[in-house]
Each structure stands twice: as C-alpha cells, then as structure tokens.
C-alpha cells in the first residue's frame, strides 16, 4: 500500500476542476496549470524513486484487497511512462501559453488538457481491465473536445471520423471485456493472468486475445491506422503534439501489458499476427511518409512507423527486444513531442504547410533549423542520440528470435524515416528564401524565443537519454524484466 | 435463454454495422447507439442469466444475480450517453458550418 500512487492522477484532476471555475482569468489559469505540471513531475519522479528502491508499488483503493477492489500498480514500466507523460504534458502546457491563442484559452483549453493527462496517467497506473477502459474514455472524451476545439471546418470534418472510430473501438473493448469476464470471471489483470494460465490459453481465449488485439491496434494505430493521418493534422500544434506523443502510446502500453501479462502462452496464435501487423504498419507508414509533400502528413506517418517498430519489439518477446521496446517507447514519446513542436514552429514561421513553398529559413532561424536537424538524427537512430540504443536492442532481439524479415524491414524503415524528415529539413531550411518568409514577422520575436525554449527543454532530454543510455538502461532493464516474467507483477499485486 | 439473447445481440450488431456504413451522419450516430446497446446486453448475458433475486441484501434470498456486470453496464451507459450527446452536437455544428451531412462529401483534402 502506497498512497502516493494516486498523486499523478489526482493532481491534474483537482487542477482541472479548479481551472473550470477560473474561465475568464487566463493568466491565473496559466500559472496554476504550469505549477500543477511541475508538481506532477515531482510526484512522478518520487514514485519512480520508490519503485527503484523498494520494487513494485501497489495501492488498493479503499483497502479492498485484489481481486475484489480496484488496484493501482506502479511497476517500473508504468513509473517510467508516468514520468515521461508528466514531462511532456508540462512542456506542452508551457508551449500553449504563447501559441494557442486567447480565444481557445478562454474556452476551457487548460482544463481539457488536464483531463487528458488524468486519463493517460490512469491508463498507465491501473491494474484493472475495466478501469483501463474507463481511463481510456476519460482520455478519449477530452481528446474529442480538444481535437475540435476552435471549430474550424477542417477540425469539424476530421473529428467526426475520429470520434466514430473511437466509439466503435470502445464498444469493441467493452465486448472483449464481457467475453473475458464470461470465460474467466475476473477483471483484475494479475488475477486474469493467473486464471488464463490455469485454464490454458486455447480456443476461446485466443479469440478474445485477438479481439483485444484489434481494439488496441485501433487505438495505437497499429495496421488499423487509417484514421490517424487525417485526424492528427486537424488540430493546432500544441494539441497535435500531445496527441502524437501520448495517445497512440497508451494503446501501445495496453498492447504491451495484455500480451506480456495475460495472453503470453500461445505465441503462434497471437504474436505471429502481431508480427504481420507490425510489418505491414512499417511498410504502409513508410509509403505514406514518402508520398506526401506537406509537413503534418509526413510527421503523422512517422508516428505510424514507430508504432510498428515498437510492436516488433513486443513480438520477439525476449529480454533484449522487450528492453528495447521500453527504451524506444520512452525515446519515441519525447522525440515525437519534440518533432511535432518543431514541425509546428516551422509551419508557423514559413506560413505554409507545403514543402514546395518553403525555403531558406536557415538564415533567419538558425537555432530552429539545427534543433530540427538534431531531432531528425535522434528519431532516425543515429548513435550519440536517444533513438539508437532502443533500436539496436529491438533489432538484436529480433535477430535472436529469428525474425529476419521484420528485422530487415525495421532497418529499412529507419532509412525511410531519415529520408522523409531530412527532406523537410532540406526543403524548409536550405535553398533560396521564398517570398512567403514574410510570415516570420507576423509572429512576435519573444513568442518565437519562448517556444524555442520549450523545444530546447525536450531536446536536452533526448540528448541526455542518448548519452546517458547506460544509466537509463538500469531502469529500462528492470521494466523489461517484469514484462518477461509476469510472475513478478502477479506476486506484487496478489500477495501482500 | 442465453441463446435468444445472443441472437438478439447479433441482430443489434448487424443493424448497427449496416447503419454505420451508410452515408448520412444521423444514421451513423443511430448505428453507434445500436452497437452500444448490443454491447451492454452482451455484458449482461455474459454473466449467465441464471435466476436469482435482485442484488439487494434486503431481499434475503437463497441466491442473487451477479452484481458486477450491472455495475459495469451502468458505467458504460453513462459514458456512451456522454459521448453520444457530444457526437450529436458535433454533427449539428458540422451541419451548420459545412452545410452537409453526407459523409461522401466530407472527405478529401480540397478546400483546406
């Protein structure tokens, strides 16, 4: 029992409730949401410290021991993801101060952002499958409101599709929970794991596993990502950043959790399908990233590629690959947040989304240019930066599991990532200055510097994760250990 | 009894999927309602429809029905109610601003 576990959830929740009452007072809203972001980082860091020193932390709600009550579990994976979420969330909140515009801020922008964080934190921490559904819904309903916030024509059009897809996948989620409850009679994840192991995972449980696979694949953008490129190009930069960095990753976390903790007995039935989906995701994402010539779409397809890549780590299911998947997941959350922030700044500075109308920005915006360049190298996995260690471990694990085809695909997809992003860099920053560059002056210099500073904060994290990979690996390795040995998790939850 | 419920749920899912695949936005919203109805009945059916008293201790019966799925359904109902009302208002706003409820005309990348 450890009551601090509820802090990452309760801090944004209370903040959001307070912010609802301060609708017109924008400055106060900014101060409060910034302060709560910092408090959240501190709480998450403290939980990580506790998990590192004392092992897996659990919290039984109202003292009801599992499997009867709802339990919050922070193993190393959840603690790392909560800390990463707190960092990215705070960074996006601060970035919004100067970018989102007063009109949006007056209409409950900050409360919605905080509610989104509540859902994400809850999904990472919960140890109950129906509670996971509820946290998903908290996150998704806030994301519906955020994606249409401002109400431009493009946003209205895309959010209709986004909401429809998510209503369907949520309905399927409930159906899958119903089937699982019908077969096992349990909802607690650790208890489920025990019961599935006792019953032997065959026949009906494999079908249920496939249903969960479809649900989480829809949320994570694994193969069933058709909704993602359109939906993620509609909202403004700050919202898009938090979507790309957090929402699909929650789906990925759910995949990692269910297929290492509950359905890990029959690899030929479940993991081989996941393998095909991961391969197809990387290929289709790569085609999309190469085909488009506007910044948001290229970035969105890069999100898709990395989802396929992380699932490849899950499919190989050995220590190296799972370590790599965790490491790459953390890197990818921070890296994608940084990439989307800088991408949004490039669009704002150039005054256009289209690559063909940009050019020559390196003279007027050298810092933005070189920061973007370093980010691209980090995302592609060039050695001194953070993308390298995770990629190396995933690919090494893939070769050890004899997934040669997928390993080759994932190496090839890194080249595509590098090419597609460098193309943005070359088109936007090199060459002749285009006449559109007048857009620079529309934006105030101080705003530009402020936003650049937010990006620099994330960039420091990306570089530090790469240089200090050995140190980060100490944490990641422990997370991978829990994933590969579910007994550690089960013992921590069911026996105290 | 479970068999008949399963058939009814199957029909609800079929109707829902058929409506979601149509062009008009209102029919799509109706389709999502059908599917959520089906899902809630599925939750109820999956806990076995054996006879027993309502889950109230005051009933003092020999056996009770399973109380857990009822709590899950209640949660799921209010969530889908919130989402559906948001979806309907969004459809109304989209109709006002975009001037159509035909999903065929709401695709593509032109005019933005």
Q: B interface mutation test: which of A132, A143, A147, A156 has the most B CBs within 10 A? A: A156
Chain B residues close to A181, C-beta within 8 Å: 43, 46-47, 68-69, 72
Q: State mean pLDDT over B76-95.
A: 95
Mean pLDDT of chain A: 92
Mean pLDDT for the stretch of residues A49-71: 92
Q: Is residue A468 within 8 angstroms of chain B, CB to CB? A: no
Q: Which residues on chain A are in Cβ contact (under 8 Å) with B68?
A: 181, 187
- CA-based nearest distance A358→chain B, Å: 18
Contact flag B94-A157 (C-beta cutoff 8 Å)? yes
As a whole number, mean pLDDT of residues A420-439 equals 81
Are residues B68 and A187, on separate chains, in Cβ contact within 8 Å? yes
Residues 6+ apart with CB under 8 A from A35: none
Among A86-90, A188-192, A251-255, B45-49, the least confident range: B45-49
Euclidean distance between CA atoms A375 and A342, whole angstroms: 9
| Domains located in chain B, CATH noted | 2-52+63-107 (1.10.287.3510)
Question: How confident is the model over A336-365, as pLDDT tens digits?
Answer: 999 999 999 999 888 888 888 888 888 888
Nearest to A349 by CA among A376, A368, A330, A371: A368
Count up the domains in chain A and report the number. Answer: 1
Q: CB–CB of A177 and B36 under 8 A?
A: no
Q: Does residue A247 surpass a pLDDT of 60?
A: yes
**For the purposes of burial, counting CB atoms within 10 Å of the CB of B52, is it exposed (0-12), middle (13-18) or buried (19 or more)?**
middle
Q: Which residues of B touch A174 (CB under 8 A)?
A: 39-40, 42-43, 72, 76
What pLDDT score was predicted for residue A89?
A: 96
Chain B residues within an 8 Å CB radius of A161: 106
- Mean predicted confidence (pLDDT) in A395-408: 94
> What residue in B sits closest to A68 (Cα-Cα)?
B68
ipTM of the complex: 0.95
* Each residue's pLDDT tens digit, A147-161: 999 989 999 999 999
Provide mean pLDDT across the span A45-65: 93
Inter-chain contacts counted by CB atoms under 8 A, chains A and B: 92
From first CA to last CA, the distance across chain A in angstroms is 9
Taking CB atoms and an 8 Å cutoff, what residues of chain A touch B42? Answer: 174-175, 178-179
Searching chain A, which residue's CA lies closest to the CA of residue B110? A154
| Tokens coding A406 | 């997928």
pLDDT value of residue A19: 96
- Per-residue pLDDT band for A440 (boundaries 50, 70, 90) equals low
Query: What percentage of chain B carries pLDDT values higher than 90?
Result: 71
DSSP designation for B58:
G
pTM reported for the whole predicted model? 0.95
Residue A94 in tokens: 């601060």
Section A208-233 average pLDDT = 94
Distance CA A266, CA A121 (A): 30
Please give the share of chain A, as a percent, with pLDDT higher than 90: 81
CA of B71, closest CA in chain A: separation in Å? 11
Residue A382 pLDDT > 60 = yes
Which residue from A minimizes the CA distance to B108? A230
Residue A65 has a pLDDT of 87
In this predicted model, what pLDDT tens digit does every residue of A80-112 receive, in sequence order? 999 999 999 999 999 999 888 888 999 999 999
| Domain membership of residue A110 as a residue range | 3-493
C-beta neighbour count of A233 within 10 angstroms = 20
Q: How far is A19 from chain B (nearest CA, A)?
A: 21
How would you class B108 by CB atoms within 10 Å of its CB: exposed for 0-12, middle for 13-18, buried for 19 or more?
A: exposed
CB A60 within 8 Å of CB A1: yes
Nearest to A110 by CA among A88, A94, A123, A124: A94
- How far, rounded to the nearest angstrom, does the alpha carbon of residue A51 sit from its chain's CA centroid? 21
CB neighbour list of residue A476: distance below 8 Å, 6 or more residues apart = A76, A80, A323, A326, A327, A330
Is pLDDT of A435 > 70? no
A495 touches chain B (CB under 8 A): no
* pLDDT value, residue B79: 96
Task: Choose the weakest-confidence range: A25-29, A58-62, A410-414, A447-451.
Answer: A447-451
- Among candidates B25, B46, B94 on the partner chain, residue whose Cβ is nearest the Cβ of A181: B46
CB contact under 8 A, A130 and B72: yes
pLDDT score recorded for residue A384: 85
CB A167 to CB B106 under 8 A?
no
Question: Residue B111 pLDDT > 50, yes or no?
Answer: no
Q: In the predicted model, is pLDDT for residue A495 greater than 80?
A: no
What is the least distance, in Å, from the CA of A476 to any CA of chain B?
35
Contacts with B98 from chain A: Cβ below 8 Å: 153, 156-157
């Amino acid at each position: 029992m450890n009551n601090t576990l509820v802090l990452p959830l309760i801090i944004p929740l209370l903040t959001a409730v307070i912010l609802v009452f301060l609708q017109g007072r924008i400055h106060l809203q900014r101060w409060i949401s910034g302060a709560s972001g910092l408090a959240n980082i501190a709480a998450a860091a403290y939980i990580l410290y506790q998990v590192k020193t004392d092992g897996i932390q659990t919290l039984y709600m109202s003292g009801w021991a599992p499997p009867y009550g709802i339990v919050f579990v922070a193993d190393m994976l959840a603690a790392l993801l909560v800390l990463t979420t707190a960092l990215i969330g705070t960074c996006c909140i601060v970035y919004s101060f100067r970018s989102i515009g007063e009109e949006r801020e007056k209409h409950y922008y900050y409360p919605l952002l905080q509610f989104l964080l509540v859902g994400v934190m809850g999904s990472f921490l919960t140890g109950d499958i129906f509670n996971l559904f509820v946290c998903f819904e908290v996150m998704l309903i806030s994301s519906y409101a955020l994606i249409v916030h401002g109400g431009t024509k493009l946003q209205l059009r895309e959010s209709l599709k986004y909401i429809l897809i998510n209503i369907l996948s949520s309905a399927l989620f409930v159906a899958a929970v119903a089937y699982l409850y019908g077969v096992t009679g349990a909802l607690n994840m650790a208890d489920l794991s025990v019961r599935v192991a006792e019953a032997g995972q065959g026949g009906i449980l494999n079908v249920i596993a496939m249903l969960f696979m479809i649900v989480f694949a829809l949320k994570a953008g694994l193969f069933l990502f058709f909704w993602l490129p359109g939906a993620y190009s509609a909202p403004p930069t700050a919202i898009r950043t938090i979507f790309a960095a957090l929402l699909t990753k929650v789906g990925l976390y759910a995949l990692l959790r269910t297929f290492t903790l509950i359905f890990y007995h029959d690899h030929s039935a479940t993991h081989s399908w996941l393998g095909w989906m991961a391969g197809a995701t990387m290929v289709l994402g790569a085609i999309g990233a190469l085909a488009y010539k506007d910044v948001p779409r290229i970035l969105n397809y890069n999100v898709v590629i990395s989802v396929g890549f992380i699932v490849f780590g899950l499919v190989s299911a050995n220590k190296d690959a799972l370590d790599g998947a965790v490491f790459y997941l953390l890197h990818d959350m921070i890296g994608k947040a940084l990439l989307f922030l800088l991408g949004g700044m490039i669009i704002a500075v150039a005054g256009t989304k289209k690559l063909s109308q940009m050019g020559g920005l390196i003279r007027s915006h050298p810092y933005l240019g070189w920061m973007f360049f370093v980010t691209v190298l980090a995302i592609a996995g060039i050695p001194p930066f953070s993308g390298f260690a995770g990629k190396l471990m995933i690919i090494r694990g893939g070769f050890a599991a004899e997934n040669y085809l997928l390993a080759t695909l994932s190496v090839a997809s890194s080249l595509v990532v590098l090419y597609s992003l460098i193309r943005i860099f070359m088109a936007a920053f090199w060459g002749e200055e285009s006449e559109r560059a007048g857009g620079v002056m529309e934006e105030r210099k101080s705003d530009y510097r402020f936003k650049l500073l937010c990006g620099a904060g994330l960039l420091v994290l990306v570089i530090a994760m790469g240089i200090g990979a050995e140190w980060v690996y100490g944490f990641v390795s422990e997370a991978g250990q829990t994933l590969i040995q579910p007994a550690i998790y089960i013992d921590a939850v069911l026996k105290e | 009894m479970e068999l008949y419920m399963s058939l009814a749920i199957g029909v609800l899912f079929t109707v829902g999927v058929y409506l979601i695949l149509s062009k008009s936005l209102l029919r799509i919203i109706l389709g999502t309602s059908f599917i959520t109805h089906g899902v809630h009945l599925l939750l109820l059916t999956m806990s076995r429809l054996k006879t027993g008293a309502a889950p109230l201790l005051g009933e003092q019966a020999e056996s009770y029905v399973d109380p857990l799925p009822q709590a899950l359904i209640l949660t799921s109902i209010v969530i889908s109610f919130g989402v559906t009302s948001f979806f309907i208002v969004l459809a109304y706003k989209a109709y006002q601003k975009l001037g159509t409820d035909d999903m065929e005309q709401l695709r593509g990348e032109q005019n933005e």
